[in-house]
Amino acid sequence: MRQDASQKVLSVLGDLRAAAERVDVPGLARELVRLLNGGVPPEPIVLMAARWGAERGCERADLALPGVADCARALFDFEGPSRAIPLAQAWSLVSELCAGAPARPPMTPEPVDARDPDGLEARLGEAIGASQGDTAEALALGAYDAKLPAEALWRLLMRLAARHPAAQGGPIVEGLKLHQLRCLAGDGATRVLLPAFARRIALGERAYGLPHLREHAARMGALDGRLAELYAAADPARAATFDEAKFRAHLVDGAPEEAFKAMLLGAKAGVPRALLARSLVLAASERVLRFDPAHDANPHVQEGWLDVTRALRFVSAVRALRTLLPEPSWLRLLFDGARLVSSLKVLDLPPAARLALPEPEPIRRTWDHGPEVTRITQRLLARDFKGALALVRGYFMMMLPEQPLARGLVGAAMMDVRGSALHQMEALATLSAAVDEFEAMGTSPLRELPLASAFRFLTASVRERDVYQRTLEAIDLETAGRRPRSLTT
């Protein structure tokens, strides 16, 4: 009987993979429910989704893994067969983003001496610096097979990602999400996921050589020898004299050079690293709240909503990595975040048109907070930004429990708030990052800003298809030699 049950599970797993190949969402949902009803735990199922995407090596695989990790975290907010909802979002995400991409041939591992981590780091750094994705993947695979602990390999790769960040910090976000996925679901797919991560760090290095990033790269190169000194300068006593609002103004309103200088002066003065990271998160939240949606609707420019939401997700990852990567290389991420947030200033609404946060809406203090959470999520799903935020501010003013609200918000983001897989993932990821930052800020009076920024994005009208825009760009390029217009590069 037990063997029959195992054979049935294997059959369903085969059907699940076949549905993913076909991008058959109803089929995915059906097979996932069958697996859960058959007693299969959800953790290995979500790991299979991450592995399935990584094995295909599609161009958007770097976007798929963070979305899968956020869906894995959401498993705790669902019970019983309802856990098929976050699982289906994870599988549909990798299925749609990697549609048509065949599985890559197995990688042959490079011989590695796990007793020489410095030599491995040098070899990986050389491969990443040369954008040699296959070599980086083979080295990481060889390190894993040589029994280098997965945590040690992850830290090594994160140090290299910090040294060679892509334009919007994609590898940094992916690295954090990979860590979260391993913590939630174990190391069952680590042999595939860590080497694939090394490959994407190498391919992301190409972005750092783009003209608009060269000045920043030069500033960072000049700072390399001082990172240890700056890291050691942090002094908890400086927290009392830190003028956060003044510091943040340099990040939000200054040019990238000014933002870099402000971050450097803050680090030199010994401002605690946690406060610098928090201010960076608040600055990115302001950037989302200031975003002019006309840019997203304009097919003649490249920038849109995702530029500002990805900046928020990047700096959220930087803040979270402060304790996971407690070493001088982490400081690079602060400077990269400052450059990214300040470079997006050109996307702001004019000062007179910027949104003011609504006043808190009075609500009753009651032991049954469920109806209030439902009212908030209903307004959010109705795309009522001010109404939803006013209720949230009233909810906090009455000091109602925060965890049920966080669960309700993540649950609402699972309800297909966007039409495409990519934008659904962006909505969930932005809200998840905002909830993380809200919780990390403790009793700070500014802790509502990240939530407000996520609410604005989730309630906004977002252009999800880009066929018209890409065709216009192709016409310009092929007939007049004009490249796509960018406001930030």
- Structural domain count, the chain: 3
Instruction: Tell me what pLDDT residue 207 has.
Output: 58
| 219 C-beta neighbours (distance < 10 Å), count | 16
What's the CA gap between 160 and 203, in Å, rounded? 13
Assess whether 304 and 194 both reside in one domain: no
Selection from 469, 216, 217 nearest residue 342 by Cα: 216
Whether residue 325 is found in the same domain as residue 271: yes
| pLDDT number for residue 363 | 86
> In the predicted model, what is the mean pLDDT of residues 392-417?
91
User: Residue 1: its pLDDT value, please?
Assistant: 36
Whole-model pTM: value is: 0.94
Q: Which domain holds residue 185?
A: 117-208
Q: What is the pLDDT of residues 94-120, one digit of tens each?
A: 999 988 888 889 999 999 999 999 999
Residue 131 lies in a domain: yes
Structure tokens at 118: 């410095």
User: What confidence score (pLDDT) does residue 165 get?
Assistant: 67
**Same-domain status, 189 and 269:** no
Confidence of residue 278 (pLDDT cuts 50, 70, 90): very high
Convert the pLDDT of each residue in 235-262 to its tens digit.
999 999 999 999 999 999 999 999 999 9
d(CA 157, CA 205): 13
Q: How far apart are CA 489 and CA 128, in angstroms?
A: 24
Tell whether 32 and 90 lie within a shared domain: yes
pLDDT digits (tens, 9 = 90+) for 286-342: 999 999 999 999 998 889 999 999 999 999 999 999 999 999 999 999 999 999 999
One domain, residues 299 and 232:
yes
Token duo for residue 120: 């491995």
Three-state SS letters, 216-232? HHHHHHHHHHHHHHHHH
Q: Rounded mean pLDDT of 267-280?
A: 97
Angle, helices 421-440 vs 305-324, to 10°: value is: 50
Run of H or E residues at 7: helix 2-22
Q: 203 and 168 in one domain? A: yes
Kindly state whether residue 254 falls inside one of the protein's structural domains: yes
Q: Report the SS3 class of residue 1.
A: coil
**447-487 tens-digit pLDDT:** 999 999 999 999 999 988 888 888 888 888 888 777 778 88
Which one-letter amino acid corresponds to residue 21?
A: E
8 Å CB contact between 271 and 330: no
- State which of 332, 353, 374 marks the end of a domain: 353
**One domain, residues 122 and 177:** yes
Report d(CA 184, CA 181) in Å as an integer: 5
Query: Domain check: are 76 and 139 in the same one?
Result: no
Are both 240 and 329 inside the same structural domain? yes
User: Does 234 lie in the same domain as 200?
Assistant: no
Are 107 and 127 in contact by the 8 Å Cβ rule? The answer is no
Q: Which of 43, 62, 97 is the last residue of a domain?
A: 97
Q: Kindly tell me if the per-residue pLDDT of 211 is higher than 60.
A: yes
Q: Judge whether 449 lies within some domain.
A: no
Name the residue among 337, 339, 307 with its Cα closest to residue 320.
337
CA distance 113 to 318: 31
Confidence (pLDDT) at 280? 98
Phi, psi of 485 (to 5 degrees): -80, 130
Task: Give the pLDDT score at 8.
Answer: 67
pLDDT at 320: 97
What's the rounded Cα separation, in Å, for the pair 464 and 456? Answer: 16
Mean pLDDT value of segment 182-191: 89
pLDDT band at 168, cuts 50/70/90? Answer: low
Tell me: do 237 and 176 sit in the same domain: no
pLDDT at 209 over 70: no
Tokens representing 103? 């599985």
Distance, CA of 437 to CA of 439 (rounded, Å):
5
- Domain assignment present for residue 396? The answer is no
pLDDT above 70 (res 137)? yes
State whether 147 and 258 are in the same domain: no
Residue 191 lies in a domain: yes
pLDDT at 3: 45
**Comparing 377 with 217, which gets the higher pLDDT?**
377
- pLDDT confidence of 2, banded at 50, 70, 90? very low
Write phi, then psi, for 420 (nearest 5 degrees): -95, 155
Per residue in 140-153, pLDDT tens? 999 999 999 999 99
Is 392 a residue whose pLDDT tops 80?
Answer: yes
For the segment 359-381, what is each residue's pLDDT rounded down to a tens digit? Answer: 999 887 777 788 899 999 999 99
Q: Name the burial class of residue 324, with classes exposed (0-12), middle (13-18) and buried (19+) by CB atoms within 10 angstroms of its CB.
A: middle
- At residue 206, the pLDDT reads 61
pLDDT, one tens digit per residue, over 43-73 is 999 999 999 999 887 767 767 889 999 999 9
* Percent with pLDDT over 90 in the chain: 72
Q: Which is more confident, 212 or 414?
A: 414
Specify the pLDDT at position 9.
73
As given in the structure block, the two tokens for residue 314 are 């990047």
Residue 258: what pLDDT? 97
181 belongs to a structural domain: yes
Phi, psi (rounded to 5 degrees) for 348: -70, 150
Of the candidates 179, 208, 237, which is a domain's last residue?
208
- Is 272 within the bounds of a domain? yes
Q: Please report the pLDDT score of residue 369 as a whole number.
A: 82
User: In 329-401, which residue ranges form alpha helices assigned H by DSSP?
Assistant: 330-343, 370-381, 385-397
pLDDT at 166 over 70: no
- Give a three-class secondary structure readout of 124-158: HHHHHHCCCHHHHHHHHHHHHHCCCCHHHHHHHHH
Q: Is residue 326 part of a domain?
A: yes
Tell me the average pLDDT of the chain. 91
| H/E stretch holding 180 | helix 170-185
